[in-house]
Each structure stands twice: as C-alpha cells, then as structure tokens.
Amino acid sequence: MSSVITEMVMLWTGTTRQRKTGNIPNGYVGATREAGKASCEGCGRLEDRTCYHWFGSSQLGHGRMMQTNEKKPERYTLAYALNNAVRSAKYARGAVGGDPCVFSREQVEGWVGQIRAIGMRGLILYTHFWRTRGAHLRGLAMASVDSFAEADEAVNAGWRAAVALPVRHPDCKTARAQGVPVWQGEEYTTPEGKPILICPQQTGQADDCNSCGLCDAQRITLAMIIGFLEH
C-alpha cells in the first residue's frame, strides 16, 4: 500500500553547478528537514548514516532553499525552475535529496508533462522503496537497489534499476570510499546474467547526465541496469 504524503512538496531550482548532472533543474524533497527525512524513513543509508545527501554537502543547499521557501515559495516551483533553466537543459533531476515515494503517480506524471511541454526530454528520478512505498512509481522512477540480486528482482518486476558498484571512481576521495578499491575497467553482470552498464558519465562516454539521459526511467533502452562507481 502506498503511503503518499499529499502535503509534501518538491523544492525545485532551475540551475546547478553539479558537474555530474550538468546544469539542469534539480528537485529536493521536503520544505523542512523533518519532511525530507520522513520521505527516506526506512532507508538503510539513512539509518547507517551513509546517505550522500543527509550526511553530505548537498543538504546545505537544500537547507538554504527551505529557509527562503518560507517567505518566497514561488521561487521553488517547477514552473519557476523551468522558466529559469539554461536553454541547453534536456532533463530535470528530481529528489536529489529525499525519496519521491511520497508523491502520487499523478503528481510525477504532471512534472514529466511540464518538463516535456517546454521541449525538454524527461525526468531523472530514483526511489529506494520500489517494493513498498514507491511501488506506484514503476515506469516513472528507477529502482535504486542495494545488490546485484535485487537488480534482478527489480527488472523481473518491470523496473529499470540503478545499483552501486563495489569499486570507486579514480577521482573519488570521500571518506565513505576509504578502503573501496579503484575501478580498473571491470565489467559486471547480475546473478541471472543481466548486464550492468556502468554510468557513461563516469566512464567518460558522456559529459554529464544531461547529455546521457539513460536514467530517465521512461527512456526505451536495452540498458535495464545502470551501475554507479562510488563517487
């Protein structure tokens, strides 16, 4: 059963300096820290304090947005973000912080419609709760899975999946990656033999998410599973 929180909001910004995604609109779940964390309740990365957002630097920008939103909520609507995006933006990235499971399917479909209506290609979105609270987002979000075996399970259930790989990008210097071996060009498959495509941006085959777009769950592609080097 879905546990959609109808009063939850996504705070959108039109631009970002995030090199990996490229300069595209970004969305953050929750107008308060409590609301944002509630969307992630039950996620192992929140519980073991390894979440890149809630225990990393991106939460700082989210926090500033929360403060400004109290007085100027119109600044963080999707419409405002799209109107202030750079012309080269092809995709928007939702739920950079927080999990989109708290939004209804109709809300997410509405975002996709707005994004495409101005000529952009789609929405990049992931949910950790693809089995439970986010099950209603199948086909709109990637299933963020915790193992190769779960990737098999998700794909067999009709999802496209994203999974962390047991190696790090050569440029990764974060504390959480200490002890993780550097990727040496290894290729990966799931226990059932499904191929895992390593993020093209991380392998130098794409400049950023904006020029790649493979994590748009609605994109028709043979790449059913995307693997991410620790970064």
Please say whether the beta carbons of 207 and 19 come within 8 A: no
**In the numeric block, which tokens belong to residue 28?**
């953050």
Contacts of 115 (CB under 8 A, 6+ apart): 25, 78, 82, 91, 92, 121, 122, 123
Element (H, E) at 164: strand 161-168
The total domain count for the chain is 1
Interval 24-44 mean pLDDT: 92
Q: Which two tokens stand for residue 221?
A: 């592609």
> Residue 201 falls within a domain, yes or no?
yes
How far apart CA 155 and CA 52 sit, in angstroms, is 25
Residue 127 lies in a domain: yes
CB atoms within 10 A of CB 3: 13
The answer to the question of residue 220 being in a domain is yes
pLDDT surpasses 60 at 19 = yes
Is position 3 within any domain? no
Cα separation, 22 vs 220, in Å, equals: 22
In a domain, 5, yes or no: no
Q: What is the pLDDT of residue 61?
A: 82
Give the pair of three-digit tokens for residue 218.
């609605």
Mean of the pLDDT values across residues 17-42? 94
pLDDT of amino acid 137? 98
Residue 184: partners with Cβ closer than 8 Å, 6 or more residues away: 167
Flag whether pLDDT at 47 surpasses 80: no
- 2 belongs to a structural domain: no
pLDDT tens digits, 109-158: 999 999 999 999 999 999 999 999 999 999 999 999 999 999 999 999 99
Domain holding 44, by residue range, is 10-230
Give the up-direction half-sphere exposure of residue 200: CA atoms within 13 A in the CB hemisphere: 12
Whether residue 163 is contained in a domain is answered as yes
Pairing of strands 126-127, 91-97: unpaired
Q: What is the pLDDT of residue 222?
A: 84
Residue 57: predicted pLDDT: 74
> 58-74 pLDDT, tens per residue?
777 888 999 999 999 99
Considering the entire predicted model, what is its pTM? Answer: 0.91
Residue % of the chain over a pLDDT of 90: 78
Give a yes or no: residue 4 inside a domain. Answer: no
Whether the CB-CB separation of 231 and 172 falls below 8 Å is answered with: yes
* Span of 24-38, 51-65, 87-101, 125-139 with lowest mean pLDDT: 51-65
